Amino acid sequence: MQNRKLKIGIVVGEVSGDTLGAQLIRSFREQGIEAEFEGIGGPQMIAEGFSSDYPMDILSVMGIVEVLKDIKKLFAVRDGLVDKWTQDPVDIFIGIDAPDFNLRLSKSLKQKNLPIKTVQYVSPSVWAWRQGRVHGIKASIDLVLCLFPFEKAFYQKFDVPAAFVGHPLASQLPLKNPLIEAKQELGLNVEQKHIALLPGSRRGEIERLGPLVLDAAKIISQKHPDYIFLIPAINDARKQQIEELLKHYSSDFIAKVKLMENTDTESKIGRQVMNASNIIALASGTATLEAMLLHRPMVTFYKLNWLTYVVVKFLIKIQYYSLPNIIAGKKVIQELIQHDATPENLAAEIEKLMNIETAQIQAMQHLTMHKQLLSGNSENPVQAILSTLNAE
């Protein structure tokens, strides 16, 4: 199987998946595995020679109500990929994150009895909510690549093939991470104090959470005029969207806000902004892990469409929402979810992190968890994928 060029399908739906996809493509190449890659990818994957049949943004939809609005478009994309791979099958399909789309795509490929091995890279949060999904995963997925050891343990209970491959960021990001150097890298004044505001990278998230973070920042700015606010924009569309929101604020406040545009194919402006900030306020999601691995004090928040939240609240099986708290098994960072996510509450939590001792305690907890993620016995994702490909 490895003596010929492999054909690998990959589908990602957001920047973090694009990053993992690009790293995976590089890993195949570095390990001497000849392969061509196609499907849905972002700029980082395309820069590695990936052929994207659809723009990555087409899958950037979150929430039950929000997805329903775009359901026909999403079905059309899924059916388009199934038709293509029925005519010209790939050897392996790897869905990176985006589980609602990728698990359905894997199921469709299995129903066609195609000779395609299916891999889900980044476990859906099946251990957290909608645990019944594990049976569907077992039926349609040949291998789950898990970022955290507790995920592999969960799948073993249900006899689902899984490999703990670790989170690539844990080894990429250094254990020592000076703040001043990070500020210099972005050309910021090292004497100034900065607060990173990350309302999310999707259009819908910025619509829903942008006013929340800006209103909180306005409250802080009135009490602490020495702070500067940094907002990353992963592309021009998100930059314009944030600029539209800023038009509703005074010129004095706007002068305290720096919009930081992405300047390369790696879409790492969010990480750079978090790294250069004294405090981070960010939407709950995979970016909370990144902030933890940067060892910066943070508070997280999230608001869904009210109907989506009612459904999610009913199905959720865990105490915490953010990855740092889930990994720690206790509250390490403050979570402001739904009704608690108000500008006043967010401003108050950010203000608490201005206390040096409070910030240092949280940063040390982040460092401890970073070391724990590095100490696990992780497997090589490429070799785990190839083992599945060669298995009968």
pLDDT score for 346: 98
354: three-class secondary structure by DSSP: coil
Q: Identify whether the C-beta of residue 209 lies closer than 8 Å to the C-beta of residue 199.
A: yes
The predicted-structure confidence for 107-124, as pLDDT tens digits, reads as follows 999 999 999 999 999 998
What CATH architecture applies to the domain 172-374? 3-Layer(aba) Sandwich (3.40)
Q: Identify whether the C-beta of residue 371 lies closer than 8 Å to the C-beta of residue 306.
A: no
Query: The whole model's pTM is what?
Result: 0.70
CATH class of 6-166+378-390: alpha beta
**Which residues are CB-neighbours of 145 under 8 A, at least 6 positions away?**
119, 120, 121, 122, 123, 162, 163, 165, 381, 384, 385
pLDDT score for 376: 63
**Which residues are CB-neighbours of 89 under 8 A, at least 6 positions away?**
7, 114, 115, 116
What does each C-alpha distance from 55 to 46, 136, 267 come to in angstroms? 11, 27, 15
Query: Domain residues of the chain, as ranges?
Result: 6-166+378-390, 172-374
The predicted-structure confidence for 220-232, as pLDDT tens digits, reads as follows 999 999 999 999 9
pLDDT score for 1: 46
Alpha-carbon gap, residue 12 to 37, rounded angstroms: 12
Alpha-carbon gap, residue 145 to 206, rounded angstroms: 30
Alpha-carbon gap, residue 368 to 327, rounded angstroms: 11
The residues facing 96 across adjacent strands are 121
**Secondary structure (DSSP) of 160-200:** --EEE---HHHHHS-S---HHHHHHHTT--TTSEEEEEE--
Question: What is the distance, to the nearest Å, from the Cα of residue 121 to the centroid of all Cα atoms in its chain?
Answer: 12
CATH topology identical between 6-166+378-390 and 172-374: yes
pLDDT score for 131: 81
132: three-class secondary structure by DSSP: coil
* Residue 72, number of CB atoms within 10 A of its CB: 9
Which residues of the chain fall below pLDDT 70? 1-3, 60-69, 264-267, 312, 314-318, 375-377, 392
Strand extents, DSSP E, 122-169: 143-146, 162-164
